[in-house]
Amino acid sequence: MGFMAATRLRATGSRATMRCVDISSLHNTPEYIAAQTAAIRQAILRESGNLKQPNFECLGTEDLARLFDLYDRAFFSGLLAQAANARIGRPLVFRLSSTMTRAGGKTTLYRRRIPGGQVQAHYEIAVASRMLFMTFKDVQRPVVVCGLTCTNRLEALQRILEHEIIHLAELVTYGKSGCGGRRFKELAAGIFGHAGTKHALVTPMEHAAAQHGIRVGSLVCFDFEGRRLVGRVNRAHSRATVLVEDAKGLPYSDGKKYQKFYVPFGMLSAASACGEGAPQIGEGESERGDESADT
């Protein structure tokens, strides 16, 4: 099964050739994948005003668009964007997300009804830029994305984008996509040599732990409306959830009442730094931090 892209030879459309890519038949050699992805890496470093080095400090949606275009040409004969466009009638949209803290990327088909009853749709590829920038920074460890070890931020971005490209190719071809499925894994392995669908980018919690020594269970203090509050980190995603003992709060399993605060990591200090103690929170209330998440 393949996605098709019609190439009109004349403006009248009287003669048209149909070019078709059967994505399930694509099996690239490791050498081809290595050469093409390296060429793409060199091209974006040469062309982009943002990506000046592999551990780049800036990234724009135009860089995602350009990377996608390079991938489309190298791996799909330039037909993937055409096929997506032909299916939806609108170009692909790229987005950088500072709030995505589990998934490394996301590919979505958005549909909305516009006045007059018509349905307008577009595909969007989003990349978790905040996590990407936390990776290859303070935390020193191997970073595996899609089953492949990445040595710098650009390689991690490429693996994430490749994963999202498979999602898009699946959506365009089959109308739905899921990276838990066998078909997805076979496509990702055949086209990009991926050996997995997870990422191990540095999460906000891991970053906070490395930078400030703060983790789930840590006793922390922060300022709120002129008061200094002390509590315990109960959960951490883009911000920390801190439980502060308060008679007006909600009851928890340890029999005490707590108010819940969502606090940016930058506003938290270890409670030892404030010279204060705080109550323990019952075991059952603590939630696990981020683990490796779907790419």
Strands lying side by side in the sheet with 293-294: 148-150, 143-145, 198-199, 293-294
- Residue closer to Zn ion (CB basis): 153 or 199: 199
Amino acid at 57: E
CB of 201 to Zn ion, least distance (A): 13
Which of 109, 244 has the CB closer to Zn ion?
Answer: 109
Q: Which amino acid is at 62?
A: E
Residues 23-82 that bind Zn ion (CB under 5 A): none
Looking at the DSSP assignment, which residues form a beta bridge with residue 51? none
Provide the β-strand partners of residue 127. Answer: 96, 105
> Taking CB under 5 A as the rule, does residue 179 contact Zn ion?
yes
Contact flag: residue 168 with Zn ion (CB under 5 A): no
Stretch that binds Zn ion, among 111-119, 174-182, 198-206, 238-246 (CB under 5 A): 174-182
Cβ 97 vs Cβ 127: under 8 Å? yes
**23 neighbors 173 (Cβ within 8 angstroms):** yes
Which stretch in 26-34, 178-186, 203-211, 236-244 sits in contact with Zn ion by CB under 5 A? 178-186
Q: Give whichever of 168 and 263 is closer to Zn ion, judged by the CB atom.
A: 168
* CA pair distance 238, 102, nearest whole angstrom: 9
Residue number closest to Zn ion, CB atom: 179
Q: How far is the CB of 230 from Zn ion (least distance, A)?
A: 39
**Nearer of residues 194 and 239 to Zn ion, judged by Cβ:** 194
Question: By rule CB under 5 A, what count of residues binds Zn ion?
Answer: 2
- Cβ proximity to Zn ion, 179 vs 242, nearer residue: 179
Q: Which segment (81-89, 204-212, 255-263, 286-294) binds Zn ion by CB under 5 A?
A: 286-294
Residue 150, strand partner residues: 143
Toward Zn ion, which CB reaches closer, 254 or 294? 294
Residues 6+ apart with CB under 8 A from 158: 37, 40, 41, 67
By CB under 5 A, which span of 111-119, 229-237, 239-247, 287-295 interacts with Zn ion? 287-295
CB burial readout 241-252, b (16+ within 10 A) else e: bbbbbeeeeeeb
Q: Which residues contact 109 (CB under 8 A, 6 or more apart)?
A: 88, 121, 122, 123, 171
Q: Which stretch binds Zn ion (CB under 5 A): 64-72, 177-185, 239-247, 267-275?
A: 177-185
Rank residues 137 and 185 by Cβ distance to Zn ion and give the closer one: 185
Place of tokens 């190439």: 7
Rule CB under 5 A: which residues touch Zn ion? 179, 294
